[in-house]
Structure 1
Amino acid sequence: MPVKITIPTPLRPYTENRDTIEVEGQTIRELLKDMTERYPQLKRHLFSEDGRLRSFINIYVNDEDIRYLDGENTKVSEGDVVSIIPAIAGGN
């Protein structure tokens, strides 16, 4: 079942400059696995060396933060929109 993932601008160079991609899976973990298999350069930007999703990467399913759902085990359905949003830091 294809699910759309929106790709933030800083990560688009690793997805052939695509702003959305369709990947297969029933959970966020499966979607991320499919996505990083298709676009291997993304893996180091999304996951730490120990395989954990980096703390500054926020993932939303239909505007719901997966940290408040079931994390990477959050189930997805066809037609859901998954957004990857890197945290932004800075300021004075």
Structure 2
Amino acid sequence: MPRVLSADAGGQRELELPAPADATLGGLLDGLRASHPALERRVRDETAALRRFVNVYVDGTDVRQADGLATPVRGGQAVEVIQSVAGG
């Protein structure tokens, strides 16, 4: 995860979360809310939708091109969260 988000993950650049057999990205983010609520709020808005300027990939596939929060996540798959950077 980008350094800008790692502060909300206790300084960690990587987190390992349990993924049950029927896990989805949304379910993993629900679990993230319990352990790292500030980080989860940076990824999802108050309606629990992915924030517009945050890109999430499951094993390299953009979840917006897949099933969004319903994208299945199996044990061992990498979930990457990348915050877009804008500026000039």
**Do both share a fold (TM > 0.5)?**
yes
Q: Structure 1 stretches of 5 or more lacking a match?
A: 1-6
State the Cα distance separating 1:30 from its structure 2 match: 0.8
Could you list the structure 1 runs, at least 4 aligned residues long, displaced by more than 3 angstroms after superposition. Answer: none
Of residues 1, 4, 9, the one that matches 1:10 is 4
Question: TM-score w.r.t. structure 2 length?
Answer: 0.87
- Cα distance in 2 for partners of 1:41, 1:58 equals 17
- Cα distance in 2 for partners of 1:22, 1:87 equals 22
Which structure shows the bigger proportion of residues in strand conformation? 1
Alpha-carbon RMSD: 1.2
Please give the per-residue CA displacement for 1:60-92, whole angstroms capped at 9, x wherever unaligned: 01111001111110001111101000111122x
Q: Structure 2 stretches of 5 or more lacking a match?
A: none
How many aligned residue pairs are there? 85
SS of the residue corresponding to residue 16 of structure 2 reads: strand
Is the 8 Å Cα contact of residues 43 and 51 (structure 2) preserved in structure 1?
yes
Percent identical pairs in the alignment equals 33
